């Protein structure tokens, strides 16, 4: 499977990324989780996406236990995690309201806690999880610079940032942000038209795509979902029987900006199918037929 270079000096990640947001919901034993990780690695899915808040602040620790049990796993993978969201949780009794915190102290403290939870001494990529209306770009830049200079974080990026927010933070840094992790799917077209992907193409920065198959909405019974499924099914037949999931992934990966879908599944068969989807190539008419079905109208 292809590996995608994030900027000229950034890391190379697997094009399909294993998302760990729902790790606790999979109810895997330690042995089962280690087997899951090993199979992903064997298929070339070497990048694992986390956030401090996942599983109400527990998923990083569960994953870290697997790495601690088999130390050789860490050298075969890239770890991405995020910080900046504060959840109301029994695991954070001091938090009274769901909010964002991108202060220097919080970013550094969160990254250091992620290192402990993941049982590693460095993070391949640290992302600021959400735009913070109180974000002081100088403070965030100072935190990311300190973490990078210390070797605790090798590369930095953002998640869910609009172009102007990305530009603001990048303007305060002496090194490039390596990605913007955004929602992108056949049912979420906004980044195609709001300047997000245009900016990434201008900067030659790949994006990571969360909810790349629409978070289950693609299989709903509303008119839009049915239209899109019909268009996808037709493309699947034309491409030798590819599944709906595979065509949905191939559709976002068709964009000239390299797109790394983040799969939030614990089912190995879906990950294997996603790996195969990286070899599918939609032509322009197939791509625009699916766009039209989702948008509900022809292009102008």
pLDDT in tens, the chain (300 residues): 899 999 888 899 999 999 999 999 999 999 999 999 999 999 999 999 999 999 999 999 999 999 999 989 999 999 999 999 999 999 999 999 999 999 999 999 999 999 999 999 999 999 999 999 999 999 999 999 999 999 999 999 999 999 999 999 999 999 999 999 999 999 999 999 999 999 999 999 999 999 999 988 999 999 999 999 999 999 999 999 999 999 999 999 999 999 999 999 999 999 999 999 999 999 999 999 999 999 999 999
User: What angle, 0 to 180 degrees and rounded to 10, lies between the N-to-C axes of helices 268-277 and 244-253?
Assistant: 50
Q: Are strands 3-5 and 12-14 parallel, antiparallel or unpaired?
A: antiparallel
Query: What pLDDT is recorded for position 9?
Result: 86
Q: Given 3-state DSSP classes, what are the helix, strand and coil percentages for the chain, each rounded to the nearest 5?
A: 45, 15, 35
Residue with tokens 């709903």: 220
Q: What are phi and psi of 4, to 5 degrees?
A: -110, 125
For the chain, which residues make up each domain, given as ranges?
Answer: 3-178
Query: What pLDDT is recorded for position 88?
Result: 98
CA atoms of 109 and 115, how far apart (whole Å): 10
Query: What pLDDT is recorded for position 276?
Result: 98
- Tell me which of 3.20.20.100, 3.40.50.300, 3.30.565.10, 3.30.950.10 is the CATH number of domain 3-178: 3.20.20.100
* Two tokens, residue 193: 């038209």
Query: What pLDDT is recorded for position 216?
Result: 87
Query: What pLDDT is recorded for position 71?
Result: 87
Q: Which residues are catalytic?
A: 54
Query: What pLDDT is recorded for position 126?
Result: 98
pTM over 0.85: yes
Give me the count of residues in the chain. Answer: 300
- Could you tell me how many helices (H) and strands (E) the chain has, helices first? 12, 12
Residues 6+ apart with CB under 8 A from 85: 51, 52, 53, 98, 100, 129, 130
């Amino acid at each position: 499977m292809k590996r995608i270079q994030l900027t000229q000096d950034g890391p190379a990640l697997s094009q399909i990324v294993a998302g760990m947001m729902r790790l606790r919901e999979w109810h895997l034993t330690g042995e089962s989780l280690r087997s899951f990780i090993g199979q992903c690695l064997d298929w070339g899915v070497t990048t694992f996406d986390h956030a401090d808040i996942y599983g109400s602040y527990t998923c990083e620790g569960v994953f870290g236990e697997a790495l601690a049990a088999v130390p050789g796993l860490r050298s075969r993978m890239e770890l991405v995690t995020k910080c900046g969201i504060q959840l109301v949780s029994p695991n954070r009794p001091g938090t009274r309201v769901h909010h964002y915190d991108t202060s220097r102290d919080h970013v550094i403290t969160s990254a250091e806690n992620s290192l402990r939870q993941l049982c590693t001494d460095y993070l391949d990529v640290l992302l600021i999880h959400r735009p913070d209306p109180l974000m002081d770009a100088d403070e965030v830049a100072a935190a990311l610079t300190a973490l990078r200079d210390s070797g605790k974080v090798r590369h930095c990026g953002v998640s869910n940032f609009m172009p102007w927010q990305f530009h603001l933070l990048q303007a305060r840094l002496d090194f490039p942000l390596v990605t913007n992790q955004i929602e992108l799917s056949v049912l979420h077209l906004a980044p195609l038209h709001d300047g997000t992907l245009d900016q990434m193409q201008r900067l030659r920065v790949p994006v990571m795509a969360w909810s790349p198959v629409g978070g289950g909405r693609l299989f709903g019974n509303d008119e839009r979902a049915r239209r899109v499924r019909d268009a996808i099914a037709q493309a699947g037949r034309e491409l030798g029987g590819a599944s709906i999931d595979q065509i949905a992934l191939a559709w976002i990966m068709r964009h000239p900006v390299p797109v790394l879908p983040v799969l939030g599944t614990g089912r190995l068969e879906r990950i294997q199918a996603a790996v195969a989807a990286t070899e599918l190539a939609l032509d322009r008419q197939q791509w625009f037929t699916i766009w039209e079905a989702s948008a509900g109208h022809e292009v102008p």
